[in-house]
Amino acid sequence: TFPLALDVGSGRGYIAQHLTKETVEKLIQVDIAENALKNATESEIPTVRVVADEEFLPFKEDTFDLVVSSLSLHWVNDLPKAFKEIHQVLKPDGVFIGAMFGGDTLYELRCSLQLAELEREGGFSPHVSPFTAVADLGHLLSRAGFNTLTVDTDEIQVNYPGLFEVMEDLQGKYILCMGESNCSWNRKPLLHRETMLAAAAIYQEMYGNSDGSVPATFQIYYMIGWKYHESQAKPAQRGSATVSFGDLAKIEGLLSRGKK
């Protein structure tokens, strides 16, 4: 049971719908988008909503037993700073559980747009927000102070009729929970029609399915990190082992002899 939990980048409260008051006694939802918080769905858990930036959490150190974040951290300008803020507001032995989009997300769309722009306009600029590589994630969490880390990846593939439907979906109904347009301040403001048509043809040619649809891949990183507490399990000192890894192969034989 977590007496006090924090949902960072809560949006309309998607995580709260899957929590119970037997698990979380009180929930604080934080998001930089005020309208998203105003339209958040109700929960059976007592909830307080706060408009704040993930990089500047307005809470005292050692406040929360649990911090969660689902698919919002790829929007953060300074991800190391956000991880440090989360670590700071956690109580000792508190846990951070998060999910964020990873480096291979929408690679089909990004590649098609880049090739089309190179062909039609002689250069390209990014049209999708940048993503973190999985190789960097564990290091960033460790540098922020988390220990006993777990990082896992998953890929979800969604099929669409074509490139235009992919972009409409990303800019339309998913914009509040995913927002996979480009958040860079110096991004190129628009794509020419000829470039878009070329990108659609490239997308179909390179990645199209046999039924005429095209796939859009979303890579998701799942992470768990704990704030240090003296009660947590500690690794044994280097060189203190009394059994070699080479002896593991003998375990089955020893067990069978023990049964006899």
DSSP string, the chain: -BSSEEEET-TTTTTGGG--TTTBS-EEEEES-HHHHHTPPP-SS-EEEEE--TTS--S-SS-EEEEEEES-GGG-S-HHHHHHHHHHHEEEEEEEEEEEEBTTTTHHHHHHHHHHHHHHHS-----S---B-HHHHHHHHHHHT-EEEEEEEEEEEEEESSHHHHHHHHHTTTTTTT--S---TT------HHHHHHHHHHHHHHH--TTS-EEEEEEEEEEEEE---TTS--PPPTT---S-GGGGGGHHHHHHHHH-
Domain membership of residue 3 (yes or no) is yes
Total-model pTM: 0.79
For residue 34, the domain's CATH number is 3.40.50.150
Q: pLDDT at residue 28 above 90?
A: yes
Domain membership of residue 106 (yes or no) is no
Q: For the segment 139-169, what is each residue's pLDDT rounded down to a tens digit?
A: 999 999 999 999 999 999 999 999 999 988 8
Sign of the Cα pseudo-torsion (8, 10, 13, 14, in order): negative
Domain membership of residue 147 (yes or no) is no
Provide the pLDDT for residue 193: 85
Domain membership of residue 236 (yes or no) is no
Domain membership of residue 6 (yes or no) is yes
Q: Which range of residues forms the domain containing residue 92?
A: 1-101
Domain membership of residue 81 (yes or no) is yes
Question: Minimum mean pLDDT among 42-51, 124-133, 190-199: which range?
Answer: 124-133
Domain tally for the chain?
1
Of the segments 59-68, 192-201, 238-247, which one has the largest average pLDDT value? 59-68
Domain membership of residue 260 (yes or no) is no
Domain membership of residue 159 (yes or no) is no
Mean pLDDT, to the nearest integer, of 164-189? Answer: 59
